Amino acid sequence: MKITFLGHSCFFIEGNKKLIIDPFLTGNPAAAKKAEEIETDYILVSHGHGDHLGDAVKIAERTKAPIIAPNELAFFCRRQGVSVHPMHIGGAYKFDGVRVKLTQAWHGSGFVDDNAISFTGNPCGFLIWMDDRCLYHSGDTGLFGDINHVIGRYNKIDVAFLPIGDNFTMGPEDAVIAAEWLKARMVVPMHYNTWPVIKQDPELFKKQVDAKTQSKCLILNPGENFEF
């Protein structure tokens, strides 16, 4: 499996299938690819904010890949003429080569257009099983107890993608606690340094994760990848 960080909270995952999570590329100052360069089988979107929904509809139109998202957000995308697979928190579905389960995330979800907000239901995180690996993308979230009592306890997670930017999501201190609870083989920070309001030093986060948890922290710059 190959995982490429494309900036902000966007990851491109290549295994027996290709999938992209939260494809915010256009307008992202840290984006490592353009939307028209993406070829994927599935598009996962955690919530309706523009820095996560991003180019999902544009990519879906061109590739015909379905958008997998919480029910209300999926129908928001369907109204724009693309294929969707609606789900909801706690539900799982086995697609061709990939199993996806939606987890809760403590955040909001709405698409802002011309100073109006279209509310798009509840935000989510994702548990993803592919090629005998388990990935956890938390989406935008604050720290909450079920990261420990449910997600970490009942899943053997290989890679956890956690926000560290603070202000809108967990900051580094809470993300270290989340890493302690999850006990993933590897933790990759996300959702930081895209703009000044979420500026963080990932090296300090890495030191804390490596010192206090069972996980190894891997910092990826936009465009970098790893295979495992």
Strands 186-190 and 159-163, by their bridges, are: parallel
CA–CA distance, 134 with 124 (Å, rounded to integer): 17
**What pLDDT digit, counting tens, does each position of 133-179 carry?**
999 999 999 999 999 999 999 999 999 999 999 999 999 999 999 99
Domains of the chain by start residue, with CATH: 2-221 (3.60.15.10)
Tokens at 3, concatenated = 């995982």
pLDDT, position 131: 98
What percentage of the chain has pLDDT greater than the value 90?
Answer: 97
Q: What is the DSSP letter of 147?
A: I
CA–CA distance, 225 with 160 (Å, rounded to integer): 15
Contact 170, 142 (CB under 8 A): yes
Whether the model pTM is above 0.95: yes
pLDDT higher than 90, residue 116: no
pLDDT higher than 90, residue 132: yes
**154: burial class by Cβ within 10 Å (0-12, 13-18, 19+)?**
exposed
Contact 140, 105 (CB under 8 A): yes
pLDDT, position 114: 79
CA–CA distance, 149 with 125 (Å, rounded to integer): 15
pLDDT higher than 90, residue 113: no
**What pLDDT digit, counting tens, does each position of 5-18 carry?**
999 999 999 999 99
pLDDT, position 157: 98
**What pLDDT digit, counting tens, does each position of 182-216 carry?**
999 999 999 999 999 999 999 999 999 999 999 99
What percentage of the chain has pLDDT greater than the value 70?
Answer: 100
Give whole-number Cα distances, 67 to 58, 61, 123, 149, 222, in Å.
Answer: 11, 10, 15, 29, 23
Section 94-105 average pLDDT: 98
Section 31-50 average pLDDT: 97
List Cβ neighbours of 4 (8 Å cut-off, separation of 6 or more).
11, 12, 13, 14, 32, 223, 224, 225
**Cα-to-chain-centroid distance, residue 77:** 18
